[in-house]
């Protein structure tokens, strides 16, 4: 329980996804306390779960500054979550909960904002290179889709530049990339990097490799392996095609991350987030990820100097929301 007094100023942060909402209190050094997770489906509206948290933590009489990271667009007053029936007005939410201030940021902005404050035990370095302090940082995250964001430091404050970088055109690099591209082209009008670098992407790579390797599948379920099945089979060496699929996924991810480094001059580092890659960090370390990251022709020397990391922190959304609110209040 968090002790509170009347008019105590408290910074509340939240990471709101389609399934769970995580709430916490942050101090000025981005230290989180009182972390609580709730199932979104159990609450009719966002205000209900926030009010329950404030009640449980005895914070209803406190002066609350809130920063909420949410998985949907936040550039208008009216908010409608993509994977939940929750709809609300930012102004009304602030008034209803009697908040001192309310800031909504995209969930991927929060992940990006967490990066500058990550400790060594919250990330794993892949390959060589050393980050240059306060230089641009890029982050990409294979998950349900392929999130991309960039961080720039202006006057000792970090600013996130969002976008839809995961939807840029996929560019094959090696012969197997070309063969996979040709297979996907038969069923897709356009191939973006997200078509390969996501959970669905791993499945598409696997299905393409079945055809490329002329594998005769006797069991229909073998064609419908999930991304988790494919990665699990690859990690325990129980399926050659699964291993080939995951290996190629890592190579394509290396090429894409290397492109980000060149595009944004990300000498502060390129970070891999999302729910997929942290599950097999050691596999990535032994894969062709870093080789493809560096293989940029005349610009190879630049990427050789740029470090790459996998974010292993379990609450990057909360940490990023904390970093964001501490820059504005």
Binding site residue list for ATP: 14-19
Beta bridge partners of 155: none
Other Cβ atoms less than 10 A from the Cβ of 316: the count is 28
DSSP secondary-structure letter at 104?
E
C-alpha Rg value of the chain to the nearest Å: 21
CA angle 96, 110, 283 (to 5 degrees): 140
Q: How far is CA 71 from CA 33, 110, 147, 245, in A?
A: 22, 10, 11, 29
Asked if residues 134 and 126 have their Cβ atoms less than 8 Å apart, the reply is: no
| Distance between CA atoms of residues 147 and 260, nearest Å | 12
Q: How far is CA 311 from CA 115, 197, 254, 316, in A?
A: 8, 16, 15, 8
Sort strands 9-16 and 63-70 into parallel, antiparallel or unpaired: parallel
What are the phi and psi torsion angles at 113 (to 5°)?
-65, -20
Q: For 107-239, where are the alpha helices, taking DSSP H only?
A: 107-114, 175-185, 199-212, 227-235
Q: Give the sign of the dihedral formed by CA 17, CA 167, CA 73, CA 134.
A: positive
Other Cβ atoms less than 10 A from the Cβ of 291: the count is 14
| Distance between CA atoms of residues 252 and 144, nearest Å | 17
CA angle 279, 284, 287 (to 5 degrees): 145
Binding site: which residues?
A: 14-19
């Amino acid at each position: 329980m968090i002790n509170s007094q009347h008019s105590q100023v408290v910074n509340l942060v939240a990471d709101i996804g389609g399934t769970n909402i995580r709430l916490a209190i942050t101090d000025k050094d981005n230290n989180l306390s009182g972390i609580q997770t709730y199932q979104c489906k159990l609450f009719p509206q966002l205000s209900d779960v926030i009010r329950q948290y404030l009640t449980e933590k005895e914070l209803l009489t406190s002066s609350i500054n809130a920063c909420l990271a949410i998985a949907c667009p936040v550039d208008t007053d009216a908010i409608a979550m993509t994977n939940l029936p929750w709809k609300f007005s930012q102004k009304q939410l602030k008034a209803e909960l009697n908040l001192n201030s309310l800031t909504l940021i995209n969930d991927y902005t929060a992940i990006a904002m967490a990066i500058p404050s990550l400790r060594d035990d919250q990330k794993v370095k892949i390959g060589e290179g050393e980050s240059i302090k306060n230089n641009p940082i890029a982050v990409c995250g294979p998950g349900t889709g392929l999130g991309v964001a960039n961080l720039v430091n202006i006057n000792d404050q970090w600013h996130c530049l969002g976008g839809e970088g995961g939807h840029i055109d996929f560019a094959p690099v090696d012969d197997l990339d070309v063969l996979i591209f040709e297979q996907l082209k038969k069923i897709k009008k356009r191939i973006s990097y997200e078509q390969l670098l996501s959970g669905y992407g791993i499945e598409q790579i696997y299905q393409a490799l079945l055809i490329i390797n002329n594998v005769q599948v006797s069991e229909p379920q073998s064609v419908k392996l999930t991304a988790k099945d494919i990665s699990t089979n690859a990690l325990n060496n129980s399926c050659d095609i699964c291993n080939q699929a995951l290996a190629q996924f890592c190579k394509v991810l290396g090429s894409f991350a290397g492109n980000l480094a060149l595009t944004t001059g990300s000498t502060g580092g390129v970070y891999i987030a999302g729910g997929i890659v942290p599950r097999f960090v050691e596999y990535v370390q032994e894969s062709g990820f870093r080789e493809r990251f560096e293989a940029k022709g005349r610009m190879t020397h630049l990427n050789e100097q740029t470090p790459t990391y996998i974010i292993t922190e379990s609450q990057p959304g909360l940490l990023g929301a904390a970093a964001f609110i501490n820059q504005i209040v």
